[in-house]
Amino acid sequence: MTIDTPSSNQPWWRTAVIYQVYPRSFADANGDGMGDLRGVINHLPYLAELGVDALWLNPFYRSPQNDAGYDVADYDTVDPIFGSTADAEELIVAAHNLNLKVIFDIVPNHTSSEHAWFQQALTTAPGTGIWDRYHCVRGSGKNGTEPPNDWRSVFGGPAWTQIVNDADQEPTGWWYLHLFDATQPDVNWNSPAVRAEHERVLTYWFDRGVDGFRIDVAHGLVKTAGYPDSGEQERVLGIDDDVPVLPQWDQPGVHDVYRSWRQLADSYTPPRMFCGEVLVSTPEAHAQYLREDELHTAFNFHYLRTRWDAPHLKETIDHSLVTADSVGAPCTWVLSNHDVRRHVTRLAPRDENGGYDTGVGVQRARAASLIMLALPGSAYLYQGEELGLPEVLDLPDERRQDPVFIRTGGQSLGRDGCRVPLPWTSTGDTFGFSSGHASWLPQPDYFAELSVDAQDGDPDSTLEMYRRALALRAQSSAMHSPRMRWLDSGEDVIRFTRLGTRSIEVAANLGREDVIIPAAELLLGSSPTVTFGDSHITLPPNTAVWLTPR
Ligand code: NOJ
């Protein structure tokens, strides 16, 4: 149904819906059990039909895959497990032909230890030559046998590894920093060579038509001079945790990097864009990255972390909009990605056995998605959320690959559970994910009924709800305006309007009792259990609707 026509005089990234493709788990065209770029190319029509504006692909560059590709050995080439550089180029063209923008992922905080720089550094005396591109620091204690400071790796354990002598494998008393896995040495952004190389890499892909980059660990590039102790206790930091203020994160010098990157992006026609993975302690600190000469957008993880609680959600939305607005930036809403528990499971109540009631979880997830897709700004969807996939919690230990699981000795399950390959069909060894017989992570049997095939054409399915929401959003000027207005509602209700040629009202019940709201024309509901009287609508718990005046 056509509602009205959105104006197109603002940059696309201010209101875009961007679909995150996790290439390992999206679609496997060559049958080796690992997703690949050809698999993505083959399914681009699915994304166009879903109605998203762009796709963001996680890293597929040459990598030993110790952190699923976030350990990059060569930023210019595609890892053979994903295909070839020609495939990446073909993907950009094919996506553009379907009116889809393409965002790649740049990993500037660290390289793989197999990167040519690190390999070359290992052949040089620590503290000399090319070691200046990494954080190579003399250890503390007698002969440097202790790490330089108390910093912890995000993945568990110390953030320093002692460098051994290349010739005799003896400890040198020098250490290199790795805020993630030991095979992901942090690069030193005080080095002009590091700055120049990353701008060269951005240019390399921009010249091939990439519309933008998601920036990995965007808040981490610059470390406090002198490497002071952080005082932090051992803990594994997740995106869904609060972020403490520490000397290894969110240092003022990082903003210079993005000012320079912004100039580079703006030098293209059309200008290219960035979306930062910015994990900082407050929305105010977050907004600093979004000043007009820095990044265009950054994921709003404060929103992702919000509980299923209407007052908390309202406060987070208001605070996010006000702080983003203070620097003229749009908000970038997100509920799931490859690092966090899928929101079907995260929002699910616990049952009496300590498990998750994912029946309620999926109702809440659908309602949460309708709220998110109606907020002013842009939104990211993570592959599989349009199918209502839950987190797979019971993967066998021996199949898990996440370094978080490995470095914590299994104390944290890590992130494999949200990375299980997508089910495309309700039958077959891998539910249509692979042209072969196995997938790199096993899929549970219940993926059959959640597959694309099983949901396609079923008006009550999660997939059809997303398709309808994205179509309505694309056709609505109200949904492209930068404003929303809260409407009167009870404590447990989210209710707001988006004003436009034809306004859209959004209402969601986050409480435990039915909620009555004034009648209007239904555009879309998260559940068939919503009921309509002449003068009112009844919203059962965990449901949301999009309405328009009659
Ligand atoms: C954030 C990425 O999203 C995550 O998957 C990765 O492990 C770390 N950065 C390190 O690159």
The secondary structure element, H or E, covering residue 363 is: helix 358-373
- 472 in a domain, yes or no? no
**Cβ contact 59:20 at 8 Å:** no
φ/ψ (deg, to 5) at 107 = -120, 85
How far apart are alpha carbons 224 and 521 in whole angstroms?
56
| Centre of ligand 1 from the C-alpha of residue 70, in Å | 6
Q: Does residue 224 sit within a domain?
A: yes
CA nearest 327: which of 294, 351, 356, 302?
294
Q: Is 216 a catalytic residue?
A: yes
The reply to whether 197 and 166 lie within a common domain is: no
3-state secondary structure at position 296: coil
Phi–psi pair at 447, nearest 5 degrees: -65, -20
Q: What is the CATH number of the domain that holds 542?
A: 2.60.40.1180
pLDDT digits (tens, 9 = 90+) for 348-393: 999 888 899 999 999 999 999 999 999 999 999 999 999 999 999 9
Q: 347 in helix, strand or coil?
A: coil
In a domain, residue 449? The reply is: yes
* 101-106 sheet: strands from edge to edge: 297-298, 273-276, 212-215, 101-106, 54-57, 17-21, 378-382, 332-334
Q: Which residues contact 126 (CB under 8 A, 6 or more apart)?
A: 136, 163, 172, 174
**Same-domain check for residues 123 and 201:** no
- Domain shared by 92 and 198, yes or no: yes
Q: What is the pLDDT of residues 531-541, one digit of tens each?
A: 998 899 999 99
Mean pLDDT of the chain: 95
* Last residue within a domain, chosen from 465, 492, 512: 465
* Coil/strand/helix, residue 316: helix
Domain with 168 in it: what CATH number? 3.90.400.10
Answer yes or no: is pLDDT of 234 > 70: no
Q: Are residues 59 and 123 in the same domain?
A: no
| pLDDT at res. 2 | 42
Q: Encoding tokens for residue 264?
A: 């580079």
Q: Smallest Cα–Cα separation from 299: which of 12, 70, 8, 18? A: 18
Q: Give φ, ψ of 172 to 5 degrees.
A: -100, -15
Shared-domain flag, residues 133 and 34: no
Phi and psi torsions of 533, nearest 5°: -110, 180
Q: Is residue 304 part of a domain?
A: yes
349 and 238 within one domain:
yes
CA 397 to chain centre: 25
The domain that holds 332 is classified in CATH as 3.20.20.80
* CA distances, 464 to each of 452, 459, 512 (Å): 10, 6, 26
- 261 and 355 in one domain? yes
Amino acid (1-letter code) at residue 139: G
Counting ligand 1 atoms within 8 A of each CB, the residue from 219, 243, 339 with the most, and so the one to mutate, is: 339
Q: What angle do CA 275, 151, 399 make, to 5 degrees?
A: 70
Is residue 95 within 8 Å of residue 55, measured between CB atoms? Answer: yes
Best CA proximity match to 103, nearest among 47, 42, 181, 187: 47
- Mean pLDDT, rounded, for 489-496: 96
Retrieve residue 357's tokens: 């009631």
Same domain, 457 and 354: yes
From atom 4 of ligand 1, which residue's Cα is the shortest distance away? 339
Q: Per-residue pLDDT averaged across 493-499, rounded?
A: 97
Q: Is 339 touching ligand 1 by the criterion CB < 6 Å?
A: yes
Number of domains the chain contains: 3
142-153 pLDDT, tens per residue?
A: 999 999 999 999
**Of 406, 430, 465, the domain-final residue:** 465
User: Cβ distance 35 to 91 under 8 Å?
Assistant: no
Would residue 2 count as lying in a domain?
Answer: no
Q: What are phi and psi of 472, to 5 degrees?
A: -60, -45
Q: Name the residue range of residue 104's domain.
A: 12-111+193-465
Which of 65, 217, 243 has most ligand 1 atoms within 8 Å of CB, for mutation?
Answer: 217
User: Is residue 7 domain-resident?
Assistant: no
pLDDT band at 7 (very low <50, low <70, confident <90, very high): low
Residues with Cβ within 8 Å of 358's Cβ and at least 6 positions away in sequence, in order, are: 344, 345, 348, 390
| Residues across the chain | 550
238 CA → ligand 1 middle, Å: 10
Q: Helix, strand or coil for residue 132?
A: helix
Could you tell me if residue 475 is inside a domain?
no
| Single-letter amino acid, residue 454 | A
Does the Cβ of 79 fall within 6 Å of ligand 1? no
Q: Are residues 162 and 50 in the same domain?
A: no
Nearest atom within ligand 1 for CA of residue 404? 7
Residue 478 maps to a domain: no
Q: How far is CA 147 from the centre of its chain?
A: 32
- Chain segment 422-460, per-residue pLDDT in tens: 999 999 999 999 999 999 999 999 999 999 999 999 999
Pairing of strands 273-276, 297-298: parallel
Q: Catalytic residue among 284, 429, 491, 521, which? A: 284
Its pTM stands at: 0.97
Domain boundary among 465, 491, 520: 465
pLDDT digits (tens, 9 = 90+) for 165-187: 878 889 999 999 999 999 999 99
- Do residues 261 and 325 share a domain? yes
Which atom number of ligand 1 is nearest to the Cα of residue 107? 11
- Same-domain pairing of 32 and 133: no
Residues 303 and 364 placed together within one structural domain of the fold: yes
Is 170 assigned a catalytic role?
no
